[in-house]
Amino acid sequence: MPDRISLTSRIDGFSFTALQQLPEQTPIGGVVVIQEIFGLTDHIADMCAVFAGAGYAAIAPGLFERIERDFHAGHDPEGVKKGIKGVMSSPWPQVISDLQAAIDALPKPVYVTGFCYGGAATWMAAAQCEGLNAASCFYGRLIADLLDHTPKIPVMLHYGAHDASIPPENYERVRLAAPDAPLYLYDAGHGFCRAGSNDYNAAARDLAVERTLDWFARWP
């Protein structure tokens, strides 16, 4: 299980909770793991453990802590509504500052990845944060609305081919805007990395994680 640590954002001096999972050996680097709209869930803790198992120190910052300490939203309609409110109440400059605090707390080299909302936040971190080497974005629907923010580091993208919430024209816009970024489609729906999701697909998750780890290793 990950530890709970405290980070401080430079933008306003706010201290917020983050999950931290360390590898058994000396870390080969660090990975920022960015949450979905639901907060620091078991899924995010699990992904931190995946990266720690690969030798990285992993930190997942709680991006909605200003709204509610230990923010958590369920996957039912009310939970989704709460999560969306969390997104709308968290302006990008604040999110970027919180992510920078996580980057600064990790051993170098540092990479970033995230899921759904976190996939879009990963794109923004790649464009605006300092001290990152590469990024891997998982099914970030909002990326198509953030194409004016150009990543400064190599970015990889993952989408489910059967994702009802992200139509093909969405990720094709991303592909056209970032032709040098590998973009992979999986025989899966939305949230295919989250165990317990109706769209969970272990084979797709394992392949996407393998590609992500290979991608990070390319950019030491």
- The CB-based long-range contact list for 137-140 (8 Å cut-off, 24+ gap) reads 137/113, 138/113, 138/114, 138/193, 138/208, 139/115, 139/163, 139/166, 139/190, 139/191, 139/192, 140/114, 140/116
Is 162 considered catalytic here? no
| CATH number for the domain harbouring residue 173 | 3.40.50.1820
Is 104 considered catalytic here? no
Determine which one of 48, 158, 190, 193 is catalytic: 190
pLDDT score recorded for residue 128: 98
- d(Cα 105, Cα 100) in Å, to the nearest integer? 9
Cα 164-205-88 angle, rounded to 5 deg: 50
The residue range of the domain holding 76 is 3-218
pLDDT score recorded for residue 11: 98
pLDDT score recorded for residue 1: 80
Contact 74, 38 (CB under 8 A): yes
Is 163 considered catalytic here? yes
Determine which one of 48, 116, 137, 193 is catalytic: 116
Determine which one of 48, 129, 163, 193 is catalytic: 163
Contact partners, residue 87, CB within 8 Å, separation at least 6: 37, 117
Please give the tally of structural domains in the chain.
1
**Strand residue runs (E) in 22-61:** 30-34, 57-61
What residues in the chain have per-residue pLDDT under 50? none
Can you give the pTM of this predicted structure?
Answer: 0.98
